Structure 1
Amino acid sequence: MNLFSKWEMKPEDYGQMVEKVLPDGKKELNQSPYDTALGLNMAQDARKVIGGKMKIEDFHKVYSASLTKEFGNYYASGAEAETKKGSGPKWVMVIDLKKCVGCDTCTVSCKAENRTPPGISYNVVMEKLEGDFPNIQAINLPRPCMQCDKPACAQVCPTRATYKMENGIVAIDNDRCIGCRYCIVACPYGARSFDFGESYEQEMAGYNDVSSPEYGMERGERKKGKTPIGTVRKCSFCFHRLQRGEEPACVETCIGDARYFGDINDPNSIVSKLAASPRAFRLKEELGTQPSVIYLR
């Protein structure tokens, strides 16, 4: 097999790889007790808001009454709060696709670090073969959460459980999340999952004794009816590790040294320099989400 064919992927080709693994919105929301049509319509219009094709005021006018009716006291009405611009770090991840060998170490280390249950992986590596034998190219596309500067997931969240932190991370307040799953459908990268409460306890004794310290919060034993079961989950750039001065688990364990992490506000940081490379691009940049994950091709 020739892994070095002359065929070269373009940014839009990588975007199409993501499109193929997105969840079926209708099927996803049919599992939720909340209005499926409302969630699908909100997700579509949220992307219009992010892309500058619809005013935020018009978005709220269209959906305010329906959200009040559907979610009652859970609904946090009004425009979402603006993220304050601080003087601290703005975390960014850069992934060099020429270095990624598709080993899935990022996926495994992420699951181990964040103790994600069956069916939930914050870091996945999409794979495809391109070309005709014998001129075939193996393509790998790692996909954590994009930590968008303009996240559609936050736009559709009726409880404001999803919000943007000053450091650039899109966070979830699991105590506010009601599991409507509208954010899962709105995310154009397929980076969110619902925690159904499944467990590795039968295969791994003691798995339920401790849950993930997501966003720096220790929640103790994992059991039915206790957060984060019944809520949406996603990559947080291993925020609990950042608080200890460590890198995300996927960055630390990458066998090919394909991942870089740092403060893009620091002009001398390696991520700032790599982001300025002519090889740099963002997934689905045309949507206007402004991802904080940058790829090098």
Structure 2
Amino acid sequence: MKQHDNTLSRAPSARGAVNRRTFLTGVCAAGMAACASALPSSADAAQTDSAPAAGTAQPMATLFDLSRCEGCGACVDACTERNARNYPQPRHPFPAMFPARVRAEDWSDKKEVTDRLTPYNWLTIQHVSVTYKEKTYELHIPRRCMHCDNPLCANLCPWGAAYKENSGTVRIDDDICLGGAKCRQVCPWDIPQRQTGVGLYLDLLPRFAGNGVMYKCDRCHDSVKQGALPACVEACPLGVQEYGPRDAIISKARKLAQATDGYLYGLDEAGGTSTIYVSPVPFELLNTSLTRSAGHPDFPPVQPVLQPQKHLAGALMVAPLAGMAAGALKILGTLRKDRDSGHAPAAAHNKEQDHE
């Protein structure tokens, strides 16, 4: 088995204001909860990815066997069909941004684009022809979020909009996200994509704070929690993808690479991911053959991230602040949805419940 060497490699709305007392009460509660959750408990210290706490989701992963994929696009179509209800519906015209150099990113008139990642296309297939050991390979590579074990997008989002579930799925909360694109800046694969003219920023300071919402694959988390497979996995007619418990997927990926004299990507890159590729050619070769541009991920030689304990002191300082911001924004986002839908205000969801 040859493992990839990762050292290479609304205008502001005039309709209804948020109740100040409700908002401040929620902020305080969110801050206290965030401070408590930032401190590791003995149970947390004993928990590992391979042994999730009782009652929580089990860490899951996806295996991509690139030797099987024929690029039929069934996975892309299935992704669009299942997730269309979650796609952005921007309001035009967009607020003028300050400074003027800040650009709007609008894909609302290009929803049919599938040859790259967009806010309306969370899975794309890359096609590449490579010659290796005097043999030419025509490879088709499904690409979407890698769902990192230690996701930089979640660790560094200043508003707590990006987060990782116990299942290993990394999500972006569109109730909170302000579209600052920090997640895309720190993602080794530049995965999240922005749509301007949608989201909470429109009700805050649309010229100065935010620029929309970031979107990416969430592994069909709502369907999966009901017992279904991710749409792309379910739709593939050739068994290119397999979704299951992370330990089992990693074991199968290693055995497959060994049996086929193949190469692995995703086990160690960026500290490890829940997306494992097995390829008949080295990923360094794939990386040099792919066209690198926005919305077209490559296979960079990502260095492993530092161990979480090395950042513990900083995390304990930042987590309460990010948690307070997330709590406040969550309340605002929930009230905004209730207002726009004409419903009576509902209590904001506790995001920890969404993580289970």
TM-score bin (small chain) = 0.5 to 0.7
TM-score by length of 2: 0.48
Are 1:158 and 2:158 counterparts?
yes
Quote the residue 1:274 is aligned against.
252
Q: Hey, what's the Cα distance between the residues in 1 that align with 2:250 and 2:73? A: 26
Quote the residue 2:172 is aligned against.
172
1:64-119: CA deviation from partner (whole Å, max 9, x where unpaired): xxxxxxxxxxxx999x9578742441111111111111122212211121114623
Q: Hey, what's the Cα distance between the residues in 1 that align with 2:252 and 2:77? A: 26
Question: Conserved in 2, the CA contact under 8 Å of 1:145 and 1:191?
Answer: yes
Quote the residue 1:22 is aligned against.
none
Task: Give, as a single letter, the amino acid of the residue that structure 2 aligns with 1:174.
Answer: D
Which structure 2 residues correspond to residues 190-205 of structure 1 after superposition, within 5 A?
A: 190-196=190-196
Quote the residue 1:294 is aligned against.
276
Question: Conserved in 2, the CA contact under 8 Å of 1:99 and 1:258?
Answer: yes
Determine which of 237, 242, 254 is the counterpart of 1:260. Answer: 242
Q: Hey, what's the Cα distance between the residues in 1 that align with 2:182 and 2:139? A: 31
CA RMSD of aligned residues (A): 3.6
Are 1:111 and 2:80 counterparts?
yes
Q: Hey, what's the Cα distance between the residues in 1 that align with 2:166 and 2:173? A: 15
Structure 2, unaligned stretches of length 5 or more? 10-30, 89-110, 112-117, 204-210, 258-262, 280-356
Quote the residue 1:42 is aligned against.
none
1:171–1:193 Cα change, 3 Å: same
1:152: how far off?
Answer: 1.1
Question: Conserved in 2, the CA contact under 8 Å of 1:86 and 1:166?
Answer: no
Which structure 2 residues correspond to residues 136-155 of structure 1 after superposition, within 5 A?
A: 136-155=136-155
Quote the residue 1:188 is aligned against.
188
1:10–1:136 Cα change, 3 Å: farther
SS of 2:63 mapped into structure 1 = strand
Task: Give, as a single letter, the amino acid of the residue that structure 1 aligns with 2:76.
Answer: T
Determine which of 212, 215, 221 is the counterpart of 1:239. Answer: 221
Task: Give, as a single letter, the amino acid of the residue that structure 2 aligns with 1:114.
Answer: N
1:12–1:196 Cα change, 3 Å: farther
Which structure 2 residues correspond to residues 9-24 of structure 1 after superposition, within 5 A?
A: 11=4
Q: Hey, what's the Cα distance between the residues in 2 that align with 1:101 and 1:174? A: 34
Q: Hey, what's the Cα distance between the residues in 2 that align with 1:286 and 1:111? A: 28
Task: Give, as a single letter, the amino acid of the residue that structure 2 aligns with 1:285.
Answer: D
Quote the residue 1:126 is aligned against.
126
Question: Conserved in 1, the CA contact under 8 Å of 2:128 and 2:140?
Answer: yes
Question: Conserved in 1, the CA contact under 8 Å of 2:67 and 2:139?
Answer: no
Q: Hey, what's the Cα distance between the residues in 1 that align with 2:267 and 2:186? A: 14
1:140-181: CA deviation from partner (whole Å, max 9, x where unpaired): 221121111111111221111111111111122222211110
Question: Conserved in 2, the CA contact under 8 Å of 1:282 and 1:291?
Answer: no
Task: Give, as a single letter, the amino acid of the residue that structure 2 aligns with 1:281.
Answer: L
Determine which of 92, 100, 103 is the counterpart of 2:69. Answer: 100
Aligned-pair identity (%) = 27
SS of 1:277 mapped into structure 2 = helix
Are 1:248 and 2:226 counterparts?
no
Question: Conserved in 1, the CA contact under 8 Å of 2:266 and 2:274?
Answer: no
Task: Give, as a single letter, the amino acid of the residue that structure 1 aligns with 2:53.
Answer: G
Question: Conserved in 2, the CA contact under 8 Å of 1:127 and 1:138?
Answer: yes
Q: Hey, what's the Cα distance between the residues in 2 that align with 1:163 and 1:275? A: 26
Q: Hey, what's the Cα distance between the residues in 1 that align with 2:182 and 2:194? A: 11
Structure 1, unaligned stretches of length 5 or more? 1-8, 17-75, 199-221
Question: Conserved in 1, the CA contact under 8 Å of 2:223 and 2:230?
Answer: yes
TM-score by length of 1: 0.57
Q: Hey, what's the Cα distance between the residues in 2 that align with 1:103 and 1:284? A: 26
1:272: how far off?
Answer: 5.0
1:194–1:109 Cα change, 3 Å: same
